[in-house]
Amino acid sequence: MSSTGLSGKSVIVTGGASGIGRAAAERFAAEGARVVVADLDADAAARVVGAIEDAGGTARAVIGDLSDQRVVDETVTTAVAAHGGVDVLVNNAGIMDRMSALGETDDTEWERVIRVNLTAPFLLTRAALPHLLERDGAAIVFTASEASLRGSAAGAAYTAAKHGIAGLTKSLAVTYRAQGLRTNAIAPGGTATGMRVNPSPEALGPRTLAPYISLAGKVSDPAEQAATIVFLASDAASNINGAILPVDNGWAA
């Protein structure tokens, strides 16, 4: 048993095929946890599962769009069937499309960003909840954002969705603390992932990310975010519940 208490636990990481999620999936596996990587990207997810297995760990992939209830259900079913339940849920998958100001946000952008960044974590949490409540020491960790804490250049829909994640985190913490389920979030600043450092022109739209990243003073490594996710899920954080922890080199200070 490792000191984190994560050895043998069943962990779901959404968006686990790349960036912060990949770093978290690999770190949980290194602690001895059994990981389900749920992601849209089949090739990238297969590479993560392969890397975990090559290192002696246990992982499965579930491929699909987590805003689809069927993919949500398959994710939970896979964790229960393959790993015996759900101890830790990491709601990390997200998109930062276009980043429009409210006046330029059309219905399509609004609905897609809210659906992927807020509704999908709601659906998966609701599906996993009965399984989490069966386990001692269960934990949920959300990847929120500095855009969960204040107005942000990441756009109206993204900022609204990420504030919604902060609300979900706090609501879950106060609702289920008596049953031993802890819920926390990390609030990353600019982190070197595909989303942030090398976004597609379609995702970037008319904006540039350079000033946004430079506000943080340094760009975070995904491993720094992953270490905090794993900490919040671990026994070391047993009295931390409802926290939204900035991991941003003081950006939000």
> Which residues lie below 8 Å from residue 44, measured CB to CB, with a gap of 6+?
17, 18, 22
Q: How far is the CB of 179 from ligand NAI (least distance, A)?
A: 26
Catalytic hit among 28, 158, 176, 251: 158
Stretch that binds ligand NAI, among 11-19, 103-111, 171-179, 226-234 (CB under 6 A): 11-19
Outline where the chain has alpha helix (H). 19-30, 42-54, 69-83, 107-114, 120-133, 156-176, 194-197, 201-204, 210-214, 222-233
Nearest partner of 147 among 246, 231, 250, 16, judged by Cα: 246
Of 171, 176, 88, 160, nearest to 124 by C-alpha is: 88
| Residue 120 or 139 having the CB closest to ligand NAI | 120
Q: Determine the Cα–Cα distance for residues 138 and 238; give it in Å rounded to an integer.
A: 10
Question: How many Å from the N-terminal Cα to the C-terminal Cα in the chain?
Answer: 36
191 binds ligand NAI (CB under 6 A): yes
Q: Is residue 176 among the annotated active site residues?
A: no
**Candidate segments 105-113, 188-196, 200-208, 233-241, binder of ligand NAI by CB under 6 A:** 188-196
Nearer to ligand NAI, 52 or 93 (CB): 93
* Piece in contact with ligand NAI (CB under 6 A), picked from 2-10, 36-44, 133-141, 176-184: 36-44
How many residues bind ligand NAI (CB under 6 A)? The answer is 29
Residues in 140-169 that interact with ligand NAI by CB under 6 A: 143, 145
Dihedral angle sign, alpha carbons of residues 51, 52, 56, 60? negative
* Closer residue to ligand NAI in complex, CB, 4/92: 92
Structure tokens at 130: 């009965």
Structure tokens at 68: 């689809």
Nearest distance in Å: CB 78, ligand NAI: 14
Active site residues: 158
Instruction: List contacts with ligand NAI (CB under 6 A).
Output: 15, 17-21, 39-41, 44, 65-67, 92-96, 116, 120, 143, 145, 188, 190-191, 193-196
